[in-house]
Amino acid sequence: MGKRSRLRSVLVLMALVLGVGAAMQGIEAWTRSRLGAQVAASAKPGDIFMIASVTCTYCAAARAWFNANQVPFTECFIERDERCAAQYNALMAPGTPVMVVRGRRLLGFSAQAVADALAGS
């Protein structure tokens, strides 16, 4: 096999890998937006309550996801609100965020877990 033929094979392989990677990213983005739309359609004001910390990066990511997908939620900060800190302590949570979705406690943030809780799964 000549140099040109090997180079062509490598370029074709690279193009295939890039194409598959781009397709997978597209599918992932579509799935995320679909999940966001599903949660936004299911959630009513008062369904989702987030107990957060001002320094929690996962809380910030959850907040950004809820806002980007126009999902109604309320939150409190354990450092700023004594009642919030008391709720957090009563739940004996090991960290933040703590999501309370229709009365169901979720530790951390997972859009899929929120969707499942809203669906009653």
d(CA 65, CA 82): 26
Average pLDDT for residues 52-72, to the nearest whole number?
98
**89-to-2, 13, 83, 100 alpha-carbon distances in Å:** 70, 55, 10, 14
pLDDT at 22 over 70: no
The residue among 48 and 28 whose pLDDT is bigger is 48
pTM: 0.72
Residue 5, pLDDT score: 77
Domains of the chain, residue spans: 3-119
**CATH code matching the domain that covers 3-119, chosen among 1.10.760.10, 3.40.50.1580, 3.30.420.40, 3.40.30.10:** 3.40.30.10
Q: Note the Cα 110 to chain centre separation in Å.
A: 5
**14-to-19, 22, 26, 59 alpha-carbon distances in Å:** 8, 12, 18, 38
pLDDT at 7 over 90: no
Q: Note the Cα 28 to chain centre separation in Å.
A: 12
pLDDT at 23 over 50: no
pLDDT at 70 over 50: yes
